[in-house]
Amino acid sequence: MNRNILRRYVILMGTATVVMFIFWAFTREAVETPVGDYEVRQGDIFLSDKKYDKAIERFGAALNISPDHRGALMGRGIAYMQMGKTAEAEAEFTYLIRFLKKTLVPDDLTGIGTLAAAYTNRGILYDRTGRYKKALYDYANALRTDEETVEGPGTISNVLYATPNPATVRKRATYLEKQLALPPEKRLLRVPEKDKDQRMYKP
């Protein structure tokens, strides 16, 4: 066989192999990705960029094709809370908590972590709006459900957020419990410079 023809054949087959591999990779990802996850990832990006309206739209798109998608419900609740839409955020977190409590199975570790995070986020919402007893109740439920998930950001998050000593669920719950045990006139339930270090959770 002519050497030039052989070379062209090898190049052609190599190119075809690469194209087929790329096609297979994209097809596999599309098939294996659960319905709604792509839209949730888009929503998460907008959430991190503080583009809350766009995040809510993407989470809504995920819920349109995958009703009760955990990530979408959680993301929408966080976006509402960040926008100051307290009633909407509370409704979202409460719905997610009730849904998970009805549908969770013991070996669903991701779902258990999501339930703990939902309790935490609703607790933060109650905390921010002065409903401290409800906040303490939710923090306690979060720790009971999955302490590992909600015990606070790790070293990487500390660097990213420049927060060397972030407020964890346990720290805040312990503080609230001690303050609520005091007479009302001696309580100090809001400490702005510490409260701002609270981190919401989205598994």
Which residue ranges make up each domain of the chain? 1-32, 35-85, 104-203
Residues 6+ apart with CB under 8 A from 122: 77, 90, 93, 94, 97, 138
Rounded distance, CA 104 to CA 179, Å? 34
Distance of alpha carbon 139 from alpha carbon 75, whole angstroms: 19
Would you give the distance in Å from CA 146 to the centre of its chain?
Answer: 15
pLDDT at residue 150, as a whole number: 78
Residue in the block written with tokens 């779902």 = 111
Eight-class DSSP state of 185: G
Distance CA 72, CA 173 (A): 27
Return per-residue pLDDT of the chain as tens, 203 residues. Answer: 555 555 554 555 555 554 454 444 444 444 457 889 999 999 999 999 999 999 999 999 999 999 999 999 999 999 999 999 999 999 999 999 999 999 999 889 999 999 999 999 999 999 999 999 999 999 999 999 988 877 755 433 443 344 555 678 999 999 999 999 999 999 998 876 555 556 676 66
Q: Closest by alpha carbon to 172, among 118, 135, 201? A: 135
